[in-house]
Structure 1
Amino acid sequence: MKFSIVVAITPEELEQHAIEAAQQAGAAGITLLNGRGIGAKTKKTFFGMTFEGSQSVLLMVVAKSLAEPVLEAMHGLLVHDGDSRGLAFSLPIEHLTGIDLSQLEQFEQRLQRPL
């Protein structure tokens, strides 16, 4: 079975919505990280410190065939009226170790069910 990792970076306030959208699209397990970004646009400063809102980083290992549906779900959440509130991308996984065999069975069962 081939896998991909889907990475989604969202504003913290959209974290729960992103989790729900990813799960509905077929992502089973999600690892959450906190982050801050440095973008091209200048942000407000307060006493010389740049203020950036907190970001949530979602990492999802999915079967390769589920990467596109999960990305489409993230697009629906993150892009609104042409404005982007985050980003999502996928990368192929060449080697994978440490995955629980029961999770592998869940992946295979999800692939057999229509989304």
Structure 2
Amino acid sequence: MSSEYDNELIVTIVKRGWSEPVIAAARRAGAEGGTILLGRGTGIHEMKTLLGIAIEPEKEIVLTIVAASRTDPVLDAIVTAAELDRPGMGLAFVIPVRRVAGRVHMFRKDEGPEVPRAPV
């Protein structure tokens, strides 16, 4: 049975330097990759100073779109790899995705939609 939401977005926010283990674990669990963005944290575990100067902690945000049927194993692998069960390590959450464009790499040439080519 197909639902309106056949894809889901796993958003993982971790300390800088932890995105590669997140991507590797997600791939091993069935994801095809992800997108890494940089950000800043402002949570309760982010209030650190050095010589009285506030340090703005850098974060990495990993966006991973997966088929809804793969969400649970991929999320479980991410939680383990990023140690998200420990305080201050980050968080992950899932958002349903109604439509996705640009995932043409998922289709074999004889299965997927024909991709228009730019004129030469």
**Range of TM-score over shorter length:** 0.7 to 0.9
The Cα offsets for residues 83-108 of structure 1, whole Å up to 9 and x where unpaired, read as 340111111111222321x3245xxx
- Structure with the bigger percentage of helix: 1
Provide the residue aligned with 1:30 in structure 2.
Answer: 34
Counterpart CA distance in 2 for 1:49 and 1:86 is: 23
Other-structure match for 1:50: 54
Residue 91 of structure 1 aligns to a residue in which SS? strand
Query: Quick check: 1:78–1:84 contact (8 Å CA) kept in 2?
Result: no
Question: Shift of the alpha carbon at 1:52?
Answer: 2.8
Report the secondary structure of 1:83's partner residue.
coil
The alignment partner of 1:20 has SS state of: helix
Name the larger-Rg structure.
2
**Percent identity between the two aligned chains:** 33
Q: Which runs of 5+ in 1 are unaligned?
A: 106-115
* 8 Å Cα contact 1:15/1:56 also seen in 2: yes
Q: 1:92 to 1:104 in 2, by over 3 A?
A: farther
Task: Find the counterpart in structure 1 of residue 106 from structure 2.
Answer: 103
Alignment partners' CA distance in 2, 1:19 and 1:9: 12
The answer for unaligned runs of 5 or more in structure 2 is 109-120
When the two structures are superposed, what TM-score results if normalisation uses the length of structure 2? 0.73
Counterpart CA distance in 2 for 1:90 and 1:51 is 29
Amino acid at match of 1:9: I
Measure the CA separation in 1 of the matches of 2:90 and 2:101.
29
**Is the Cα contact below 8 Å between 2:23 and 2:33 reproduced in 1?**
no
